[in-house]
Amino acid sequence: MELQDAAEQVSRVTRSYCSKIDVEPSNEWFLLKIQEELGELVQCYLELNHKSRARGKTETELRDNFEAELADVLGLVLSMGKHNDMDMDQAIYNKWLKWLND
């Protein structure tokens, strides 16, 4: 799946979620949600790496939670890119992948 395709699909979910909670998805909302999810990602990372209490979760549950929070952050970043009419495939190429051609 290309990033643009993923961004479109994630944006559909984001719009549906925002509609259900009666929130307008603005750039400020995206940044705050990314920050919120990043905090949850850090918490899961700490639990997974035994730097915080696991609260009775198995290693599999810890890994699954970390993966889910990473997906939340990525999904919101892609959705914010779509919200701002950005071509995420091109942005990733310009920032990262162009260095593979050196």
State how many domains the chain has.
1
Above pLDDT 90, what percent of the chain? 96
Other beta carbons within 10 angstroms of residue 84's beta carbon come to: 9
Please check whether residue 41 is in contact with residue 70, taking contact to mean a CB–CB distance below 8 angstroms. yes
pTM of the model: 0.92
**Does an H or E element contain 37, and which?**
helix 27-48
Above pLDDT 70, what percent of the chain? 98
Comparing C-alpha atoms, which of 68, 95, 85, 66 is closest to residue 11? Answer: 85
Which range marks the domain in which residue 23 is found?
A: 3-101
CA distance 59 to 66: 11
Which residues 6+ apart lie within 8 Å of 80 measured at CB?
27, 30, 31, 34
Per-residue model confidence as pLDDT tens digits over 21-48: 999 999 999 999 999 999 999 999 999 9
CATH number at residue 13: 1.10.287.1080
